[in-house]
Structure 1
């Protein structure tokens, strides 16, 4: 009588689990590296000096990332590259979706139709001006122009990072756009309180601190910069400035959808491998994270989650976005930014002048109507 020799067959889950383990092992060094920089950036942003000067965790994260990326990072790049790339791509998209928990549709009601109209007109006019000046007059590449336009017209570094997946920008293009936001947004923090004092006499923007707060929120780049400028003016201005800024941030999702659709139509036809014509419309990826952003903002508007939970999610989101910015900084070389020259800064300066003067004119026209 013979017996069959048996052997243990591998589990059907063994191969997938091993693949996941290998993937995690490859990602871990870069994620830890980006996470450490993000932790430092968030910690510094909560100190009195950085908070008083309106330097957000996102701005600090990319600055720290660039400092390390251009000095020490080359020694660990071989082991960290996979995780760093994951952070600046996948974690970025997740961070943009979770950003919706900082907004509610009720914010729109707080500034009224006038506030929403001011935000929309300033956003649209600023981006159109960026496109015309950047591509036609300054002859900048389209991607850099779009990134600077998005950062100036919507919400600074967060808008730049959210636009990146739509235009598929290079790291140095993103860093150039973010740097322009830092320069002129920082200048705005100190300039707007002085402008408010002048407006008390000139009354270019009718009303008082609340109305000037709407102007502030509709024209300053970063949320942190809006908070800093608004608080320097007064509590009433700070409240309306933040609400106006949040409504402006909510326009990020429709902006990305419109931009994606427009770029898809603008792509030149190309020839596919089989010789047939390709209309090119599939070359621009649909920003699915923008839909997620809208859904999350809608969920937050229903107030189904406890405030403590929403606050915890906001902290997690800040950390994820800071990791993405840190990863971006690590892969950005100063030499590439230097090669970009003065044109990006000039474009951002022109947009800043428009936000100051044009934004004041639009605010006066809408509020005075």
Structure 2
């Protein structure tokens, strides 16, 4: 309610305000440990909101520009991963496993990809923490920067949504800045990001195969990788696709869709307050300058390439 009231008084979009409120709360108030389980449910609300968002989409409208967008998603993901790996290993001399978890986080789906790949390649705990902190740092930065750039360039809802979905790291910030721009941008940002998230399977299996070379127990490692893959796969994608299919078949009436839109709007609002509480200054200060430089270069390359490609195909 506070976030919506601030927007009504001429402030920023209420979703961005919600993130800001969560950030201020987490960094100025010593929250009791008893509240942590409740705050942690913000990921559940985000997933539920994304599932309901599927009811507002039409598969036909997505397929109209589906092939070019899918090509951009795959291409930019691959470029980001290779740029991070090349810079981290060959230019800055970072350890192989740290380079790989950084690359996964920057190219696929943020901290979720960091954890999934780290479990597969047996990365050390400090490497996981380093990579996760770096990803969270850029989540905080892009939440602020992308809406500003989108306004300066006067990007349409479709272009801005796809650009955010292809370039930014974690799902929550992508959805937030998308809907902060417009309803259309939010839908495209979410859909594009989910397509990119689905590539986590390919990346996890590729890294598992690479690091399993010459190691004993390769078959057990392969089974372990599949288990980790299923655990880390964003299962709300399946619910999103199911409701999108039902929407395309005309199952939902206009009134039902309006109610669903209102529901996922409130779910996103709850989720983004929780997301804001994850952005803690103490954790961001632990980010090393070298990983941050590597990821910054990759982000600039990915965002520039994707925006250039979108201006050509759309």
| Structure showing greater relative contact order (alpha-carbon pairs closer than 8 Å, 6 or more residues apart) | 2
Q: Does 1:219 align with 2:163?
A: yes
In structure 2, C-alpha distance between the alignment counterparts of 1:302 and 1:333, rounded to whole Å: 43
Closer, same or farther in 2 for the Cα pair 1:243/1:133, shift >3 Å? Answer: farther
Which residue matches 2:230?
286
Which residue matches 2:116?
166
Closer, same or farther in 2 for the Cα pair 1:119/1:217, shift >3 Å? Answer: farther
Q: How far 1:244 moved relative to its partner?
A: 4.0
Q: How far 1:251 moved relative to its partner?
A: 0.6
Which residue matches 2:309?
362
Conservation of the 8 A alpha-carbon contact between 2:177 and 2:186: no
Q: Does 1:337 align with 2:284?
A: yes
Q: Does 1:95 align with 2:46?
A: yes
Where do 5+ consecutive residues of structure 2 fail to align?
Answer: 120-124, 169-173
Which residue matches 2:76?
122
Which residue matches 1:26?
none
Which residue matches 2:122?
none
In structure 2, C-alpha distance between the alignment counterparts of 1:120 and 1:190, rounded to whole Å: 26
Q: State the structure with more CA Rg.
A: 1
> Which of 181, 189, 200 is the equivalent residue of 2:139?
181
Conservation of the 8 A alpha-carbon contact between 1:110 and 1:243: no
Q: Does 1:50 align with 2:12?
A: yes
Q: Does 1:346 align with 2:293?
A: yes
Closer, same or farther in 2 for the Cα pair 1:128/1:326, shift >3 Å? Answer: same
In structure 1, C-alpha distance between the alignment counterparts of 2:277 and 2:215, rounded to whole Å: 33
Deviations 1:121-169 (A, max 9, x none): 334433433343345434272434432333xxxxxxxx43553653468
In structure 2, C-alpha distance between the alignment counterparts of 1:134 and 1:42, rounded to whole Å: 42
Which region of structure 1 is more displaced relative to structure 2, 258-267 or 349-358? Answer: 258-267
Q: Report how many aligned residue pairs link the two structures.
A: 282
SS in structure 1 of the partner of residue 230 of structure 2: coil
In structure 1, C-alpha distance between the alignment counterparts of 2:229 and 2:235, rounded to whole Å: 13
Closer, same or farther in 2 for the Cα pair 1:258/1:363, shift >3 Å? Answer: same
Conservation of the 8 A alpha-carbon contact between 2:105 and 2:113: yes
Conservation of the 8 A alpha-carbon contact between 1:95 and 1:318: yes
1:219-258 matches, within 5 Å, as 219-220=163-164, 221=168, 222-226=174-178, 239=184, 241-242=185-186, 244-258=188-202
TM-score by length of structure 2 reads: 0.67
SS in structure 2 of the partner of residue 359 of structure 1: helix
Cα RMSD, aligned residues only: 4.1
Where do 5+ consecutive residues of structure 1 fail to align?
Answer: 1-38, 151-158, 197-208, 232-237
Conservation of the 8 A alpha-carbon contact between 1:66 and 1:333: no
SS in structure 2 of the partner of residue 50 of structure 1: coil
